């Protein structure tokens, strides 16, 4: 708590700076794509949110494992705190994708492996959050959701390959990869990187804030319980 | 453990056990499809593989909350958890009993219902085989969902919410086997993936489900 | 052969209810757990039965030895009395349900479905299950609820016979069964600290 207290204001500032610089640069100071026109600029929201939608789940997976193995309470609360953020990121990715898809593919939605994977991810988040809400006992809820997160991750991977098997798809390949040849042009690349850094920082900031809230509410519960017993 | 299997099957078949209800649901659902999509034989025969698989999946889903909730309510689950058989074994047997009372009848009934949807002749065999291989996975994944919601007051709806996404891979490969079978294409990969999912689920999910039940009984 | 609890703390709903419970139960001994409602008798019995973990402390001699009977009897309404008992006999790998049926005077009801039994008869059937398990330690939670005087007598006989055969009985009950049993009042073990987890403590 005390560490995050110190870090948090700085983190908020850096996050805001990254987002503002990245988005303004991306939206106003890059050329329009020769085929896609100004539509391409939605990439500065779409790619970073999609990135965080997946990474939020990975973070929850790691936090769940830490809770199951080490029984570290803050870990369970951090996983709980991350879920709604991941859900919102998934929604942003889906919506910006649909808006982007309309002018380019002439459809908002297509049964495409990547699109379906994100829909699947959305269901995973919804189920995970619903399970947290449904179980009264805090430790039991943490256990149940952690088990769900583990099993869900396995099935998410399975589904991903099942989707690819099912249909080759419309969606273009990843915008960024380590293989430089296939990368998008530098002009789009740098603002996109800054945007992605901004979203990562935004996610960390939000998780910290929400985890602090969870810890405080646990503390309140504990104090009230002590009050009742006394 | 065989005793547990026999008991669960017997309970399901006795009056009030709900045996046959999911089968009737499947029958009615398949009959409703033409009303929804219009009286077009060609269209029906195209979507029949998907409808049959989806119908089997929903019929299976319908009976999931009975797997553990009844035993939880009357205290049997507490007693089974303290009995000398491992909880993983209990879970496996319960899933197996669920499959015998829902998955197996669905598999047997599906080819008959295929006629109602004008399923192409070449697909009947594949439909039966894919359901035979795939429905055990549905039962065992469902048992996992049931164990996550064990002891929750309104767990039924949440159970569907949790289980449906987990059914996706099974549905894809199952539907794909029938679709490719109907088109006369090779079904080998899809069938192997389907078998792989079922085998993997049978091997691993009992451990996760047993862990969840232990938490739920706490 | 004894059941020994050392410094057991147990929690219900995230709150420690009992702390420092220590006792031992030897072969042939019966022990009554007493205490006001909500003191944690059920919780303690569930901990001993292995249904929930103790917060701290150690239990020895309980592994695979406990037959637990809680508030619910675990009967299947559509199965008959003998089918219900035979199921548990198979689960526990024991043979013969005749002794259990005779001990709880269920002979007349043997082909009746559990659904058609009265509350007291159901409870008798639930208790008969204990004899079928063949386990040495009985952990019973309010076993005499809805039993009439004669049935309580039958139950007391069963407990006496079980203890005479080297078994142990641990039960939470409010009524006097007229048994040669020790009594353990749980009131002194009522937990002082309200909060279960070190987590909440750490952040206070």
Alpha helices per DSSP H over chain C? 41-49, 81-91, 98-103, 119-133, 149-164, 198-202
How far is the C-alpha of C123 from the C-alpha of C71, rounded, in Å? 9
More confident residue, A17 or A176: A17
pLDDT tens digit sequence for B71-126: 898 889 999 998 888 999 999 999 999 999 999 999 999 988 888 888 888 889 99
Mean pLDDT of A91-107: 88
More confident residue, B160 or A26: B160
Judged by CB atoms closer than 8 Å, whether chains meet at B80 and C76 is answered as no
In this prediction, residue C196 carries a pLDDT of 46
**A145 found inside a domain:** yes
Judged by CB atoms closer than 8 Å, whether chains meet at B205 and A127 is answered as no
How far is the C-alpha of A79 from the C-alpha of B11, rounded, in Å? 40
pLDDT tens digit sequence for C73-127: 888 888 899 899 999 998 888 887 888 888 888 888 888 888 888 888 999 999 9
Chains near C with 3+ CB pairs less than 8 A apart are: A, B
Nearest CA in chain C to B89: C91
How far is the C-alpha of C163 from the C-alpha of C166, rounded, in Å? 5
Most A CBs within 10 Å, among B69, B169, B190, B194, to test the A interface: B169
Closest partner CB to B148 (pick from A147, A158, A162): A147
How far is the C-alpha of B199 from the C-alpha of C154, rounded, in Å? 50
In this prediction, residue A3 carries a pLDDT of 76
Using DSSP, state whether B37 is helix, strand or coil: helix
How would CATH label the architecture of C28-51+61-182? 3-Layer(aba) Sandwich (3.40)
Q: Cβ contacts (< 8 Å) between C203 and chain A: which residues?
A: 1, 215, 218-219, 222
Q: Quick one: which of B211, B67, B214 has its CA closest to B138?
A: B67
Confidence at A114, pLDDT banded by 50, 70, 90: confident
Asked if the C-beta of A132 comes within 8 angstroms of chain B's C-beta atoms, the answer is: no
Percent of chain C at pLDDT above 90? 7
pLDDT at C37 > cutoff 60? yes
Judged by CB atoms closer than 8 Å, whether chains meet at C199 and A218 is answered as yes
Q: Cβ contacts (< 8 Å) between C49 and chain B: which residues?
A: 78, 82
CA dihedral C32, C33, C36, C40 (to 10 degrees): -160
Nearest CA in chain B to A139: B215
Range of the domain at A137: 45-169+182-229
Reading the block at residue C187, the tokens are 């009131």
Q: Cβ contacts (< 8 Å) between A3 and chain C: which residues?
A: none
* Residue C113 DSSP symbol: B
How far is the C-alpha of C82 from the C-alpha of A86, rounded, in Å? 54
Nearest CA in chain B to A146: B212
**A174 found inside a domain:** no
**A21 found inside a domain:** no
Judged by CB atoms closer than 8 Å, whether chains meet at B172 and A166 is answered as yes
Distance from CA of B191 to the nearest CA of A (A): 12
Mean pLDDT of B27-47: 89
Mean pLDDT of A212-218: 88
In this prediction, residue B5 carries a pLDDT of 87
pLDDT at A183 > cutoff 60? no
**A1 found inside a domain:** no
Count of alpha carbons within 13 angstroms of residue B206, beta-carbon side: 17
- Identify the burial level of A218 via C-beta atoms within 10 angstroms of its C-beta, where 0-12 means exposed, 13-18 middle and 19 or more buried: buried
pLDDT at C63 > cutoff 60? yes
Which pairing describes strands C182-185 and C30-34: parallel, antiparallel, or unpaired? parallel
Most C CBs within 10 Å, among B19, B66, B78, to test the C interface: B78
ipTM (interface predicted TM): 0.89
In this prediction, residue A34 carries a pLDDT of 66
Mean pLDDT of B17-39: 87
Alpha helices per DSSP H over chain B? 2-13, 21-37, 41-62, 66-73, 76-81, 87-98, 104-116, 124-148, 155-166, 168-183, 188-217
Nearest CA in chain C to B11: C78
Write out the DSSP string of A94-151: HHHHHHHHHHHHS-S----HHHHHHHHHHHHHHHHHHHHHH--SHHHHHHHHHHHHHH
Cα B107 to the center of its chain, rounded Å: 10
Q: Which residues contact C199 (CB under 8 A, 6 or more apart)?
A: A73, A74, A218
Residue C56 host element (H or E):
strand C56-60
Using DSSP, state whether C186 is helix, strand or coil: coil
In this prediction, residue B15 carries a pLDDT of 67
Distance from CA of C201 to the nearest CA of A (A): 8
Closest partner CB to B169 (pick from A127, A131, A158): A158
In this prediction, residue A175 carries a pLDDT of 57
Judged by CB atoms closer than 8 Å, whether chains meet at A137 and C195 is answered as no
Task: Yes or no: say if A82 and A59 are a contact pair by the CB < 8 Å rule.
Answer: yes
Q: Quick one: which of A136, B49, B14, A81 has its CA closest to C79?
A: B14
How many C-beta atoms surround the C-beta of residue A92 within 10 A? 18
Most A CBs within 10 Å, among C13, C194, C197, to test the A interface: C194
Which pairing describes strands C168-172 and C30-34: parallel, antiparallel, or unpaired? parallel
How far is the C-alpha of B9 from the C-alpha of B3, rounded, in Å? 10
> A97-111 b/e with 16+ CB inside 10 Å = b?
beebbeeeeeeeebe
Residue A14 host element (H or E):
helix A2-28
Average pLDDT across chain A, whole number: 85
End-to-end CA distance of chain B: 23
> What is the widest separation between alpha-carbon atoms in chain B?
57
How far is the C-alpha of C83 from the C-alpha of C105, rounded, in Å? 16
Asked if the C-beta of B193 comes within 8 angstroms of chain A's C-beta atoms, the answer is: yes
* Residue C190 DSSP symbol: B
pLDDT at A180 > cutoff 50? no
Beta bridge partners of C25: C3
What total of structural domains would you count in chain A?
Answer: 1
Asked if the C-beta of B161 comes within 8 angstroms of chain A's C-beta atoms, the answer is: yes
Tell me the Ramachandran region of residue C147: left when phi exceeds 0, alpha when psi lies from -120 to 50, beta otherwise. beta
Q: Cβ contacts (< 8 Å) between C15 and chain B: which residues?
A: none
**Which residues of A make CB contacts under 8 Å with C?**
1, 73-74, 136-139, 215, 218-219, 221-223, 225-226, 228-230
Mean pLDDT of B140-166: 90
Reading the block at residue A183, the tokens are 């990368």
Distance from CA of A23 to the nearest CA of B (A): 34
Mean pLDDT of C25-33: 88
Asked if the C-beta of B74 comes within 8 angstroms of chain C's C-beta atoms, the answer is: yes
């Amino acid at each position: 708590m005390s560490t995050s207290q110190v870090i948090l204001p700085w983190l908020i500032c850096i996050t805001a700076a990254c987002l503002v610089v990245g988005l303004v640069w991306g939206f106003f100071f890059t050329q329009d794509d020769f085929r896609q026109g100004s539509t391409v600029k939605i990439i500065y929201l779409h790619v970073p949110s999609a990135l965080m939608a997946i990474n939020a789940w990975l973070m929850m997976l790691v936090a769940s494992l830490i809770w199951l193995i080490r029984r570290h309470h803050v870990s369970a609360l951090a996983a709980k705190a991350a879920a709604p953020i991941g859900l919102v990121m998934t929604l942003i990715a889906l919506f910006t994708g649909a808006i982007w898809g309309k002018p380019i593919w002439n459809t908002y939605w297509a049964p495409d492996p990547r699109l379906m994977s994100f829909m699947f991810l959305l269901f995973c988040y919804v189920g995970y959050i619903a399970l947290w809400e449904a179980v009264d006992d805090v430790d039991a809820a943490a256990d149940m959701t952690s088990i769900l997160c583990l099993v869900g991750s396995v099935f998410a991977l399975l589904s991903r390959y099942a989707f690819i098997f099912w249909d080759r798809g419309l969606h273009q390949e990843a915008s960024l990869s380590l293989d430089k040849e296939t990368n998008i042009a530098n002009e789009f690349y740098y603002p996109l990187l800054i945007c992605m850094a901004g979203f990562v920082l935004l996610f960390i900031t939000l998780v910290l804030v929400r985890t602090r809230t969870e810890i405080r509410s646990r503390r309140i519960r504990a104090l009230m319980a002590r009050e009742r017993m006394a | 453990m065989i005793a547990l299997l026999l008991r669960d099957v017997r309970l399901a078949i006795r009056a009030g056990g709900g045996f046959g209800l999911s089968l009737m649901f499947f029958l009615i659902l398949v009959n409703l499809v033409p009303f929804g999509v219009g009286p077009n034989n060609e269209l029906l025969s195209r979507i029949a593989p998907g409808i049959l698989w989806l119908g089997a999946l929903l019929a299976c889903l319908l009976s999931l909350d009975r797997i553990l909730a009844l035993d939880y309510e009357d205290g049997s689950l507490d007693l089974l958890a303290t009995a000398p058989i491992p909880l993983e074994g209990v879970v496996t047997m319960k899933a197996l009993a669920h499959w015998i009372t829902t998955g197996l009848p669905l598999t047997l009934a599906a080819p008959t219902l295929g006629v109602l949807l004008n399923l192409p002749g070449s697909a009947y065999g594949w439909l039966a085989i894919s359901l035979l291989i795939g429905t055990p996975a549905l039962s065992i994944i469902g048992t996992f969902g049931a164990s996550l919601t064990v002891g929750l007051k309104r767990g039924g709806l949440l159970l569907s919410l949790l289980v449906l996404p987990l059914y996706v891979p099974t549905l894809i490969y199952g539907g794909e086997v029938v679709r490719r079978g109907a088109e006369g294409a090779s079904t080998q990969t899809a069938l192997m993936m389907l078998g792989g999912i079922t085998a993997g689920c049978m091997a691993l999910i009992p451990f996760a489900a047993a862990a969840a039940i232990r938490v739920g009984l706490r | 052969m004894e059941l020994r609890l050392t410094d057991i703390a147990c929690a219900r709903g995230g709150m420690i209810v009992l702390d420092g419970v220590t006792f031992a139960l030897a072969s042939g001994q019966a022990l009554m757990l007493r205490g006001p409602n909500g003191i944690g008798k059920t919780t303690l019995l569930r901990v001993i039965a292995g249904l929930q973990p103790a917060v701290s402390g150690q239990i020895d001699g309980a592994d695979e030895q406990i037959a637990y009977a809680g508030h619910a009897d675990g009967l299947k309404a559509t199965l008959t009395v003998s089918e219900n008992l035979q199921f548990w006999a198979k689960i526990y790998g024991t043979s013969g349900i005749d002794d259990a049926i005779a001990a709880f005077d269920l002979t007349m009801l043997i082909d009746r479905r559990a659904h058609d039994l009265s509350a007291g008869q159901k409870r008798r059937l639930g208790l008969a299950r204990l004899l079928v398990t063949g386990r040495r330690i009985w952990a019973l939670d309010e076993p005499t609820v809805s039993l009439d005087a004669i049935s309580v007598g039958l139950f007391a006989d069963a407990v006496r016979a079980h203890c005479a055969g080297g078994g142990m009985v641990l039960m939470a009950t409010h009524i006097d069964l007229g048994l040669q049993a020790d009594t353990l009042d749980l009131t002194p073990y009522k937990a002082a600290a309200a909060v279960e987890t070190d987590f909440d403590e750490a952040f206070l």
